[in-house]
Amino acid sequence: MRFAVVDHDGLVVFHSDGTRSLQESFFKECEDDAALKSAVQELHDDLLTAYYLGRPTRMYITRLIGDGAFADPRWALVVFQDNAVLETSNLETLTLALIMFAAFGVARGAVSALLHFFAPSRWTKWFWPDDRKGWAYATAALVDAGVIALFVVDAGRLESMALLGRAAMLTAGAAIATYLIVTLMPASSRRTVVWREFFWARATFLFVMAGVPAAACFQTAYDFETALLVKSERAHEDVDRAARSMRIGNRVVDRLALSTKRDSGFGIWDSIGIWDLGFGIRIGIRGRPCESRISKSRIPNHESRLSTWSLRSGHRGSRASRDCASAALCSRCSAA
């Protein structure tokens, strides 16, 4: 997941990839997509798919609102993600769900094979249509429908693994209950047309035995892949933050440094540095060190930061920079 702040003309003001900030035309990189340009220029929310850097990308555009002087800079915030990421996640979700459902089917098939081996006539023909068991079929359909409703309720409040276990329990319980209802419930002495009751009983039983486990497997696979995707995005975010902090630090050092690494450090001064602003300043001037204890508030932040950086990095200032620092720091030293 990446983002970019885009102005009215499509210039990228800020990008999650720092190398593209103020360097990229978002419209051109998106092949001048008309829907994207309309959403950015008119500053209305939109969800669309466009080609970014030659790849289909899902984008969400919204108006960027700031505070103070930048309360309404008329910039758009574009959050986008490569479609390949979502497509890969969906494919892995389906694959994992199919593997789990196949494992469930193998286990159920093994149980059915064992029952058929030990009692073939009793376990293979217990759910055939019988015109004297209309009430039994209707009761079995109601029981299975109740199991389905209970699973739907559990799907909204249980975690994926707990839901998978609950689905296994409901499936086993529904199979046993349906078998007992159909085989043990007394048959009616009057023969009636029971095709409707039989159809609903078989349909609900089939959904319980196949639909409930399939839904539980898919939900478990979906939650697992979603959590994996979130962890991956967070890892990339940490890497981006570390890279951004490094870039900012390098820019600050380049702009505020008193010296460069190539300076020899041999001059009329031995060193300019601050050991600890809370305990004092040590300045070597023409080989004669002077020490003074002053508080942090007596020295501007930029001077303290420059001197601290100079000391910690082991750099030596050029002669011009050392003269400027000497005049600034020694005047405060004398005043203290």
Assign domain 2-83 to its CATH architecture: 2-Layer Sandwich (3.30)
User: How much is the pLDDT for 221?
Assistant: 94
- Rounded to whole angstroms, the Cα distance separating 140 from 318 reads 92
- What is the distance between the alpha carbons of residues 333 and 79, in angstroms, rounded to a whole number? 53
Distances in Å between the Cα of 247 and the Cα atoms of 4, 254, 255, 303, 304 are 18, 11, 12, 22, 22
**How many other C-beta atoms are found inside a 10 Å radius of the C-beta of residue 81?**
17
Dihedral sign (CA 251, 252, 253, 257): positive
Distant-in-sequence, close-in-space partners of 205: CB < 8 Å, separation ≥ 6:
127, 140, 144, 174, 175, 178
Residue 211: phi and psi, rounded to 5, are -70, -45
Structure tokens at 292: 């003074």
Per-residue pLDDT 10s for the chain (336 aa) are 889 999 989 999 988 887 888 899 999 999 999 999 999 999 899 999 999 998 999 999 999 887 766 677 889 999 998 888 888 889 999 999 999 999 998 988 888 888 777 766 666 678 888 888 888 999 999 999 999 999 999 998 999 899 999 999 999 999 999 999 988 888 776 666 678 889 999 999 999 999 999 999 999 999 999 999 888 888 887 887 887 788 778 877 777 654 444 444 444 334 344 333 333 333 333 444 444 433 334 444 444 444 444 434 444 444 444 444 444 444 444 444
CB 73 within 8 A of CB 66: yes
Question: Closest Cα partner for 139 from 190, 193, 204, 191?
Answer: 204
pLDDT given at position 70: 66
For residue 140, the tally of other CB atoms under 10 A from its CB is 27
For residue 115 the two structure tokens come to 């029952």
pLDDT at 38: 92
Closest CA to 286 of 265, 311, 269, 306: 269
Domain segments of the chain as ranges: 2-83, 126-231, 272-335
Task: Please state, in angstroms and rounded to a whole number, the distance separating the CA atoms of residues 285 and 297.
Answer: 23
Q: Spell out the SS3 assignment of the chain.
A: CEEEEECCCCEEEEECCHHHCCCCEHHHHCCCCHHHHHHHHHCCCEEEEEEECCEEEEEEEEEECCCHHHCCCCEEEEEEEEHHHHHHHHHHHHHHHHHHHHHHHHHHHHHHHHHHHHCHHHHHCCCCCCCCCHHHHHHHHHHHHHHHHHHHHHHCCCCHHHHHHHHHHHHHHHHHHHHHHHHHCCCCCCCCCCHHHHHHHHHHHHHHHHHHHHHHHHHHHHHHHHHHHHHHHHHHHHHHHHHHHHHHHHHHHHHHCCCCCCCCCCCCCCCEEEEECCCEEEEEECCEEEEECCCHHHCCHHHHHHHHHHHHCCCCCCHHHHHHHHHHHHHHHHHC
**b/e for 302-330, b at 16 or more Cβ within 10 A?**
eebebbebbbeeebbbbeebbeebbeebe
Question: From CA 229, how far away is CA 184, in angstroms rounded?
Answer: 50
